[in-house]
Amino acid sequence: MFAVSVQITGYVDDHFPGFVSCALRDAHGRVWHFVDKVPVVSLADLTDGTVYPQPGEIRCQVLSRSVDPGGRALVRIDTGGVESTDGTTIFDVFSEQLVEVARDA
């Protein structure tokens, strides 16, 4: 199973278990924004007192792999139920943005 690395940019809501904002820069240079529960993107104990940005991850499914004109490995991913603020779940990212995660983590 894979996750895509994101940058947690801030704490937005104290409603249990806490919500944070995140940013993902795709392979085309576009920055996508997410707002989700802390446990969805991090194992850290993030609060409104935490210093941001923080590293985070969003689990994803690899849909396809390709190579861009510059020779960099691209991966099309689907973040499933974790949508960007505009509802998007499919993104093109560079392979180095992916991390392998344990299936039960």
pTM of the model: 0.91
82: Cα within 13 Å, side-chain hemisphere: 28
pLDDT at 101 over 90: no
Distance CA(24)–CA(32), nearest Å, equals 5
Q: What are the tens digits of pLDDT across the range 39-53? A: 999 999 999 999 999
pLDDT band (50, 70, 90) for residue 104: low
pLDDT, average across residues 46-67: 96
